[in-house]
Amino acid sequence: MSDVGNGASPEPVVMTAMRRRGRAEEENLPPRLRGLVTKLLRIGVGATAILMISGLVLLFLGGRSASSVLNVIPRRLGAELLAGNPLAVLYAGVLVLLATPLVRVTVSAGLFAHAGDRAFTGITLLVLALLALSILVGYVV
């Protein structure tokens, strides 16, 4: 019997089946590896949020304008973070945000390879190569 008549919206059957079965690339994986990609994405987004909010709080509490701290050089990021430079904290947040999809693609390639899915392993490695190439081109240009 459907719950449509009593005001409750029915949950789509597809979403229910996906929740029970899990992600397609995780079907042949050991239980300890299932959900790994989801966990990595959550950690990446959470770390980004913490870094960005912390950087903004430091910036506003320090009483400095953003233009007074715009001298963060990527090679000196660690030293700038230790010095408490608010822009370095914001910069680290952006780097974590950018690295999150790269880590996701890398882990997915490993999961597909572990599951024995050659087609998706190859496609995922191609995506990883394109990401690496775009980073390289962006850094050089």
For residues 69 and 56, give the distance between their C-alpha atoms in angstroms, rounded to a whole number. Answer: 12
Burial class (CB in 10 A: 0-12, 13-18, 19+), 86: buried
Q: Are 49 and 92 in contact (CB under 8 A)?
A: no
Name the pLDDT band for 99 (thresholds 50, 70, 90): very high
Quickly tell me which residue has 């009593």 as its tokens: 6
Examine residue 70 and state whether it is found in any structural domain, yes or no. Answer: yes
Examine residue 17 and state whether it is found in any structural domain, yes or no. Answer: no
Q: Are 56 and 69 in contact (CB under 8 A)?
A: no
Examine residue 119 and state whether it is found in any structural domain, yes or no. Answer: yes
Q: 43-61, pLDDT tens digit by residue?
A: 999 999 999 999 999 888 8
Mean pLDDT across 90-119? 91
Examine residue 4 and state whether it is found in any structural domain, yes or no. Answer: no
Examine residue 6 and state whether it is found in any structural domain, yes or no. Answer: no
Q: Which domain holds residue 102?
A: 32-140
Examine residue 23 and state whether it is found in any structural domain, yes or no. Answer: no
Provide the number of structural domains found in the chain.
Answer: 1
Question: pLDDT value at position 60?
Answer: 87
Examine residue 13 and state whether it is found in any structural domain, yes or no. Answer: no
pTM for this model (two decimals)? 0.68
Examine residue 107 and state whether it is found in any structural domain, yes or no. Answer: yes
